[in-house]
Amino acid sequence: MNKPFSPASTYDVLRQHGIDRRDFLQFCITTAAAMGLDAAMVPQVVSAMETKPRIPVIWLHGLECTCCSESFIRSSHPIAQDIVLNMISLDYDDTLQAAAGFQVEEIRQKLIKEHPGGYLLAVEGNAPTADGGVYCTVGGNTFLNVLMETAEHAKAIIAWGSCASNGCVQAARPNPTGAKPIHELISGKPIINVPGCPPIAEVMTGVLTYILTFDELPELDRIGRPKMFYGQRIHDKCYRRAFFDAGQFVEAWDDEGARKGWCLYKMGCRGPTTYNSCSNMKWNGGVSFPIGSGHGCIGCSEANFWDNGPFYQRLSSVVVPGIEATPDKIGAVLGVATAIGVGAHLTATVAHRLSRKPITDKDQPTADKTEQE
Ligand code: SF4
Ligand code: SF4
């Protein structure tokens, strides 16, 4: 790797911002646990944060609403926003930086020139490609050009949020601006998709922590998402799951089932087909998530979720336990399924641990990557 932009470690900078050691260690422990690492690997995470130079990052914003940045800036987690802003050497961010105009565009050009292959490119939003990309411009240049130019010499690319990962609402039919997610525009670079509208702040910090610690992208699923955070369905950890299994569903927003907190499947919940960490990590420092507030999951971390509607209409592809089925019967079937799932997860985790390697072009997500467990 090329000479880093800043020799300071993440911990150095966190300390300067008043984060004490107890909070720092707590963050390392909870993040390691969220990443699925065993306790013996916590010292490795701590050591990386204490000793490795921060990761230099150029953070671009295309067609988007900035909700990914808002996710960690507004996080109630005491350390999440400090981690994202401080564990990376955020050398260019056209939303958060104070400077503007030609000066910052020159900074971006300088960073690319002086550190080829030595920086991460983080992208929030996607690029419109219709009519030469004129529907999103930065400093008089199309975002498409800025993206391609910055990606060329990046070490790896993080596509934050659903806009960058799968196109989100901008790319929904009829997609008048020709908006395309990052992986459809750039090839030959390792790309990690971190979808969600927005992604959970702790998932963002977890991805950055992993890259800093192991100098590689984590294991990805078939659509380029880190399996450690997108390896389970919302449905698998949902606290309303017992009602699904028992065939007890909300049928109207104000019925008795809604008041009793029954399953939202019949109200269009996409939890059974959506892979994300919302039901176990939750939002706002673990306070709650949409289903906890009485609204079904709309599947925001899945590809083309805006076109997978209409929302509020039940999924037809999911076998629903009928009230005539006994909970015992369902429980037995689910028990076998869970055992198979746990076995598959364990095998994949062990295989991954044995095959850790530095970031390479092979980390680029492809259609034939391992299927989601
Ligand atoms: S269908 Fe939705 S509300 Fe019901 S258990 Fe699954 S994730 Fe939870
Ligand atoms: S619960 Fe579903 S729609 Fe809501 S943030 Fe999580 S994945 Fe997205």
Whether the CB of 296 sits within 6 Å of ligand 1: yes
Nearest atom within ligand 2 for CA of residue 301: 7
Q: Report phi then psi at 83, rounded to 5.
A: -65, -50
Q: What is the pTM of this model?
A: 0.82
Nearest atom within ligand 1 for CA of residue 270: 2
| Residue 270 forms part of a structural domain | yes
Residues 184 and 260 in one domain: no
Q: Which ligand is nearest to the CA of 274?
A: 2
| Residue 14 forms part of a structural domain | yes
- Please report the pLDDT score of residue 103 as a whole number: 81
- Any idea what the CATH number is for the domain that residue 279 is in? 4.10.480.10
What region does 310 belong to: left with phi over 0, alpha with psi -120 to 50, or beta? beta
| Residue 60 forms part of a structural domain | yes
The more confidently predicted of residues 327 and 197 is: 197
Hey, which of 236, 240, 267, 300 would you mutate to test ligand 1's pocket, going by the most ligand atoms within 8 Å of its Cβ? 240
Q: Which ligand is nearest to the CA of 267?
A: 1
Residues 144 and 192 in one domain: yes
Residues 58 and 185 in one domain: yes
Alpha-carbon distance of 9 to 78, in angstroms, equals 19
Question: What percentage of the chain carries pLDDT values higher than 70?
Answer: 80
| Residue 65 forms part of a structural domain | yes
| Residue 343 forms part of a structural domain | no
Residues 198 and 253 in one domain: no
Q: Which ligand is nearest to the CA of 241?
A: 1
The more confidently predicted of residues 162 and 334 is: 162
What's the number of domains the chain is made of?
Answer: 2
| Residue 338 forms part of a structural domain | no
- Please report the pLDDT score of residue 328 as a whole number: 40
CA of 244 to the centre of ligand 1 (A): 7
- Please report the pLDDT score of residue 369 as a whole number: 36
Q: Look at residue 357 and tell me whether its pLDDT is greater than 90.
A: no
Query: How sure is the predictor about 327, in pLDDT bands with cuts at 50, 70 and 90?
Result: very low
In tens, the pLDDT along 4-37 reads: 445 688 888 888 878 889 888 988 898 888 888 8
Residues 44 and 136 in one domain: yes
Nearest atom within ligand 2 for CA of residue 300: 8
Closest Cα to atom 6, ligand 1: which residue? 235
In tens, the pLDDT along 33-61 reads: 888 888 899 999 999 989 988 878 899 99
Q: Over range 115-134, report the average pLDDT.
A: 95
| Residue 22 forms part of a structural domain | yes
Q: Look at residue 342 and tell me whether its pLDDT is greater than 80.
A: no
- Please report the pLDDT score of residue 70 as a whole number: 84
Whether the CB of 269 sits within 6 Å of ligand 1: yes
Q: Look at residue 356 and tell me whether its pLDDT is greater than 50.
A: no
Structural domain boundaries enclosing 157? 10-231+357-363
Q: Look at residue 75 and tell me whether its pLDDT is greater than 80.
A: no
| Residue 238 forms part of a structural domain | yes
Ligand 2 binding site (Cβ under 6 Å of any ligand atom): 196, 234, 274, 276, 278, 289-290, 297-301
CA of 61 to the centre of ligand 1 (A): 33
Residues 31 and 155 in one domain: yes
Residues 290 and 173 in one domain: no
Query: How sure is the predictor about 115, in pLDDT bands with cuts at 50, 70 and 90?
Result: confident
Residues 152 and 287 in one domain: no
Residues 146 and 270 in one domain: no
- Any idea what the CATH number is for the domain that residue 223 is in? 3.40.50.700
Whether the CB of 271 sits within 6 Å of ligand 1: yes
Query: How sure is the predictor about 80, in pLDDT bands with cuts at 50, 70 and 90?
Result: low
- Please report the pLDDT score of residue 290 as a whole number: 95
Q: Over range 317-329, report the average pLDDT.
A: 54
Q: Which of 49-53, 102-106, 231-235, 298-302 has the lowest mean pLDDT?
A: 102-106
- Please report the pLDDT score of residue 7 as a whole number: 65
In tens, the pLDDT along 144-158 reads: 999 999 999 999 999
